[in-house]
Amino acid sequence: MNEWLYVALFMIVGAIIPIGAILAGAILSPKKPNPIKQSTYECGIEPVGDAWVQFKVQYYIFALVFLVFDVEAVFLFPWAVKLGQLGLYAVVEGIIFISILVVGLLYAWRKGMLEWS
C-alpha cells in the first residue's frame, strides 16, 4: 500500500505545482491594460487587419504528420546505431515499430493529407 501513497503524492504535487504557478501569475501580475498594450504586435509595424486569421486545418494535419515521423527518427536513431549488438527480439520490435509507422504513412497518403491543393 505504501507504493500507492507515493503515486498519490506525486499526482497531488503534479497537480498543485502548475495550478499554483497559474494562480501566482494571475495574482501577482500587473493589471494596467491600455489600448497600446492590448494591440497586436507585428515586429514594430502597425498591425493591419484582425489578428485572428483562420488557417486551413490541412496545415495543422501536415505538421502533425511531420511531427510523428520526426519523432520516429529520434526513436530509431539509437536503435540503428546499436543494431549490430541487438538481439533478435529488439530487431523484431524495431521492424514492428517501423511497420506501424508505414501503415500510418499509407493512411495519411490515401486520405490526401500530404497533398497541397
pLDDT value at 40 more than 90: no
The whole-angstrom separation of Cα 95 and Cα 99 is 6
pLDDT value at 8 more than 90: yes
β-sheet bridge partners, residue 42: 45
Is this structure's pTM higher than 0.85? no
54 CB-contact burial (10 Å; exposed 0-12 / middle 13-18 / buried 19+): exposed
Correct CATH for 2-110 of 1.20.5, 1.10.150, 1.10.287, 1.20.58: 1.20.58
pLDDT value at 47 more than 70: no
pLDDT over 90, % of the chain: 23
Top pLDDT among 41 and 66 is at 66
Mean pLDDT of 67-96: 86
What confidence score (pLDDT) does residue 20 get?
A: 96
DSSP helix/strand/coil, 42: strand
Torsion from C-alpha of 3, 4, 9, 14, nearest 10 degrees: 110
| Residue 116 backbone class (left: φ over 0; alpha: ψ -120 to 50; beta: rest) | beta
Indicate the pLDDT class of residue 64, thresholds 50, 70 and 90.
confident
What confidence score (pLDDT) does residue 1 get?
A: 67
Quote the distance between the C-alpha of residue 88 and its chain's center: 32
Quote the distance between the C-alpha of residue 67 and its chain's center: 8
Top pLDDT among 96 and 52 is at 96
